[in-house]
Amino acid sequence: EPEVTQTPSHQVTQMGQEVILRCVPISNHLYFYWYRQILGQKVEFLVSFYNNEISEKSEIFDDQFSVERPDGSNFTLKIRSTKLEDSAMYFCASRDSGLYEQYFGPGTRLTVT
């Protein structure tokens, strides 16, 4: 069964460093999303992406964040200058056109020290 994959599974970085989180969505899906889950809190929407552009973003998704689909398979989330409060589990999700449900990857745990 097709699935969303994410790498790395765990990333440790120092405050102020740039990180890139990578996702490979399900191959025929056209809509892509990033969410995050701070430990013990709810899952929060960050950004949605369709047709090579951002379709919606949350207040969390400020100028420090960017997304890119550099080729036909990868979808990346970049944090330019990480803060301690960026420590969280980051989930990528994808959705097929015409369907409502999103399929999630296993997540990348980001730890900022």
Partner 1 sequence: GDSVTQMEGPVTLSEEACLTINCTYTATGYPSLFWYVQYPGEGLQLLLKATKADDKGSNKGFEATYRKETTSFHLEKGSVQVSDSAVYFCALSTGGGNKLTFGTGTQLKVEL
Q: Which residues bind partner 1 (CB under 8 A)?
A: 31, 33, 35, 41-45, 48, 55-56, 58, 91, 93, 95, 99-107
DSSP β-bridge partners for residue 48: 33, 56
Phi and psi for 82 in degrees, rounded to 5?
A: -70, 150
In angstroms, the CA 24 to CA 46 distance is: 17
**Between 42 and 84, whose beta carbon lies closer to partner 1?**
42
Q: How far is CA 18 from the centre of its chain?
A: 15
The least CB distance from residue 15 to partner 1, in Å, is: 26
The least CB distance from residue 81 to partner 1, in Å, is: 25
**Between 23 and 112, whose beta carbon lies closer to partner 1?**
23
Q: How far is CA 45 from the centre of its chain?
A: 9
The least CB distance from residue 16 to partner 1, in Å, is: 28
**Between 69 and 106, whose beta carbon lies closer to partner 1?**
106
The alpha carbons of the chain give a radius of gyration, in whole angstroms, of 13
